[in-house]
Every structure is written in C-alpha cells, then in structure tokens.
Amino acid sequence: MKLLMFYSPSFWYTTFAKVLEEVPDLEQEEEAVNAVVVFYQAEAEDEGRESKVLNKMLKNIKWLAGKFNTRRVVLHSFGHLSASKAPPGLAQELAGQAAQRLTNTDYQVSQTPFGYLNEWKMHVAGESLAKVFKEI
C-alpha cells in the first residue's frame, strides 16, 4: 500500500464522474476542516497481508493526526501512486476497515466516494510534516 498524506486546514470535494460500473450512482459534496487527507492505493502485493497493511495504515494516519492535534481524517482512493494495483474490492475493503477502526477510536472519518473521479480543492499547510509519503 502507498499513502500520500497531507495536513489540510481545508479540503473540499464533489463527485465528478463514476468510473466503476459496480458502484452505486451518487452525487456527493463535502468539506473538511483541519483534517489529515489520506490518498491511498492498495497494491496487488497487499493481498494475503491485509491485517499487517491495515495496522500500518492506521499507525501512520494516527501518527500524522497527532502531530497536528486533529481527529479529522478523509480517505481518498488515488490509484496513481504505484503501477501495482489491487483489485478494487480489496482497496475498498481496506479503506472501509480503516474508517471503522478510526471511528471506533473517536476519529471523525469521511471517505470520498470509491469508484468516482472527484473534483477537489485542498489547502495544505506549509510545515514539512504536512506532506508525508509512506510505503507499507
């Protein structure tokens, strides 16, 4: 799994176009303030090691959120971080489990719609730690 994480004082998105036939039709718009925005990509190599990948994903997200004293997280599937791609179901399942576990520990979590291209605006803070890339 690859993670590109940002501390964002403001993040806004709206659905633009559906790209996976099997996902439901929807239109969604949301704004998050003082959030860790996580662009993630599950990779083919993640199959069979989902528990380890999920635990490391959560550890990295919580670490960055702690650095900026926030409990707000936005998860965004971003299939451009690696040439290796997991099946969409695996990526969606890992993100869903991450969202649930974060919510269970008092984080406010939202996910951009999986299987959609989204339009977004993001303000990224200037600190070095506001931009973090991790390979799991």
pLDDT in tens, 40-99: 999 999 999 999 999 999 999 999 999 999 999 999 999 888 889 999 899 999 999 999
Q: Could you tell me if 11 and 72 are in contact, meaning their C-beta atoms sit under 8 angstroms apart?
A: no
Q: Quote the tokens at residue 120.
A: 């977004």
Q: Could you tell me if 39 and 13 are in contact, meaning their C-beta atoms sit under 8 angstroms apart?
A: no
Distance CA(136)–CA(69), nearest Å, equals: 23
**Domains in the chain, ordered, with CATH?**
2-125 (3.50.80.10)
What local confidence, expressed as pLDDT, does residue 81 receive? Answer: 87
Q: Quick check: 106 pLDDT over 90?
A: yes
pLDDT in tens, 31-41: 999 999 999 99
